[in-house]
Amino acid sequence: GDSVTQMEGPVTLSEEAFLTINCTYTATGYPSLFWYVQYPGEGLQLLLKATKADDKGSNKGFEATYRKETTSFHLEKGSVQVSDSAVYFCALSTDRGSTLGRLYFGRGTQLTVWP
Partner 1 sequence: DVKVTQSSRYLVKRTGEKVFLECVQDMDHENMFWYRQDPGLGLRLIYFSYDVKMKEKGDIPEGYSVSREKKERFSLILESASTNQTSMYLCASSLLGAGGPRETQYFGPGTRLLVL
Residues that bind partner 1 (CB under 8 A): 31-32, 34, 36, 41-46, 49, 51, 89, 93-95, 98, 100-103, 105-108
CB of 6 to partner 1, least distance (A): 9
Nearer to partner 1, 40 or 115 (CB): 40
Q: If DSSP codes are grouped into helix, strand and coil, which group holds residue 108? A: coil
CB of 73 to partner 1, least distance (A): 14
CB of 15 to partner 1, least distance (A): 26
Which H helix or E strand runs over 99? none
Question: How are strands ordered across the β-sheet holding 62-65?
Answer: 19-21, 75-77, 62-65, 56-59
Phi, psi dihedral angles at 4 (to 5 degrees): -130, 135
